[in-house]
A = this chain, B = another copy of it.
Amino acid sequence: MKNHTIDALNWRYATKVYDPAKKLSTDQENLILESLRLSASSFGLQPWKFIVVRDVAKREELKKAAWNQNQVTDASLFVVLATPKNIDATLVSTFIDSVAEIQSVDRTKLAGYEGMINGSITAKGEAGAREWAARQAYIAMGTALLAAAENAIDATPMEGFDPAQFDAILGLGTIGFESRAALAFGFRSDTDTHAHDAKVRFSKEKVFLEI
């Protein structure tokens, strides 16, 4: 089967070394950011904020809180995926406001839908809802990783950092958010030998269960 999506998934890898001289064009950067913004989420609630870190000094600080991984400073674009600490009725209300506005629906007609979402979130409990928000951010991660690969942009999904330090450096605590993961985007360096590693994936027999 010849398919551009599969080709892209085989082409991509968690880039270890970026060429710091190669920058994303404005179009390429907008494409990545739009893929995050348009990503799916449960109820379409979008319980997230994407922190685009352009400040060089901040990137240096983040790098120290991320085991000195070079991608933090050498990638062209560095985005931290953050989620709200409080997944509550205010967040849902903001979303319902957007639905009413964008779909030109009378706000009062959405009360049932709003109540259903609030009920679902309450049922998860505070810690459960917070973790649920983190999972949603990972949908955005998967989306952006494929979006990048489809457009020949290299990327690195990153969990290896101290979230508390990231939050402090980016001032996320003061806006009620917490960092969950990060994504670096740019172009691989010729020196990144990992680009040539065979991709390790379990066989179909191991990973699929047909019922």
Q: Are A31 and B6 in contact (CB under 8 A)?
A: yes
Min C-beta distance of A81 to chain B, whole Å: 11
When the two chains form the complex, which single residue of B46, B143, B147 contacts A201, counting CB atoms closer than 8 Å?
B46
Q: Are B140 and A4 in contact (CB under 8 A)?
A: no
Contact with B along A36-51 (1 / 0, CB 8 A): 1111101010101111
Q: Who on chain B is nearest to A27 by CB?
A: B1
Q: Are B54 and A103 in contact (CB under 8 A)?
A: no
Min C-beta distance of A211 to chain B, whole Å: 5
Q: Who on chain B is nearest to A33 by CB?
A: B208
Cα distance A139–B27 in the bound complex, in angstroms: 24
Q: Is A210 an interface residue (CB 8 A)?
A: yes
For A175, the chain B residues whose CB sits under 8 A away are 209
Q: Are B151 and A146 in contact (CB under 8 A)?
A: no
For A135, the chain B residues whose CB sits under 8 A away are 134-135, 138
Task: Given A136-B138, A138-B138, A142-B140, answer yes or no on A37-B202 (Cβ-Cβ < 8 Å).
Answer: yes
Min C-beta distance of A111 to chain B, whole Å: 16
Tell which of A16-24, A68-76, A192-200 binds the partner: A192-200
Task: Given A145-B143, A146-B147, A211-B52, answer yes or no on A42-B3 (Cβ-Cβ < 8 Å).
Answer: no
Q: List 12 A-B contacts (CB under 8 A).
A: A9-B143, A9-B147, A33-B208, A37-B202, A37-B207, A44-B200, A50-B209, A102-B199, A102-B200, A138-B141, A146-B147, A146-B150
Given A44-B200, A46-B201, A139-B145, output 14 extra A-B contacts at Cβ < 8 Å: A1-B31, A1-B34, A3-B27, A4-B150, A5-B151, A9-B38, A40-B142, A49-B207, A54-B210, A54-B211, A136-B138, A139-B157, A143-B145, A146-B147
